[in-house]
Amino acid sequence: MAATQRSNRSWQSSEPTPPARRKEQVYNDFLDKADAYATRTNQVRICLEKVRAAAPPGGPFTVDAECSKNVADLAQLRFEFQRARNAVFVHGSTAAEDQAGVIAGYLPPAVGGDPVNGLPELGPEVANYDRATFNQMYRAFNKVTRCEIPAEPRPGCEE
């Protein structure tokens, strides 16, 4: 009997996820990955501000281990964020794609380049990052989720 139950559970777990449930998973994953990437972007911004403030004009800059780890983690989080954005493109609505694009356009496109005087090359998106602005974008995407996922759209979801 136990073998049959395991077999049935295995079969059940291999069934395709219903589209509405899949969309919910994709949207939630996107929001999680966007938040993680935004949080690390802010940590890198704060860290680099401290590094620049402590250095003589023009450098050299001394980046501590925590700051180096935050910068290194930013690249991995960007990869995970982009993968989640791609899933929205495949499984999401046009409204979700549009809002995901707004968020992606606000966050740094990538971390790259060789360090200059010990400081990594980061785009202006890191220096200009503002959590309140990101939160507005996050809420706009979350509204798409609230309007599309429930069986009955919530008030305020009318086109």
Number of domains the chain contains? 1
| Domain hosting residue 142, numbered range | 21-148
pLDDT over 90 at 98, yes or no = yes
Residue 99 CB-density burial (10 A; 0-12 exposed, 13-18 middle, 19+ buried): buried
C-alpha 41/C-alpha 76 separation (Å) is: 12
Note whether 34 and 84 are within 8 A (CB). yes
Peptide bond into 124 cis (omega under 30): no
Most confident of the ranges 62-76, 87-101, 141-155: 87-101
So what's the pLDDT on residue 60? 74
Q: What DSSP line would sit under 91-108, residue for residue?
A: HS-HHHHHHHHHHHHHS-
Nearest alpha carbon to residue 110 among 45, 14, 59, 37: 37
So what's the pLDDT on residue 21? 84
Spell out where the chain has E strands: none
Residue 144 lies in a domain: yes
The pTM for the full model equals 0.77
Residue 154 lies in a domain: no
Most confident of the ranges 35-44, 46-55, 147-156: 35-44
Residue 67 lies in a domain: yes
Of 42-46, 94-98, 103-107, 111-115, the range with the lowest mean pLDDT is: 111-115
Residue 125 lies in a domain: yes
**CA angle (115 as vertex; 109, 119 as ends), nearest 5:** 90
Residue 9 lies in a domain: no
**Between 152 and 96, the higher pLDDT residue:** 96
Residue 3 lies in a domain: no
Residue 93 lies in a domain: yes
CB atoms within 10 A of CB 102: 13
String of b and e for 48-68 (b: at least 16 CB within 10 Å)? beebeeebeeeeebebeeebe
Token pair in block for residue 50: 């401290």
pLDDT tens track for 40-64: 988 888 888 888 788 788 777 777 8
Residue 12 lies in a domain: no
pLDDT over 70 at 123, yes or no = no
C-alpha 73/C-alpha 70 separation (Å) is: 5
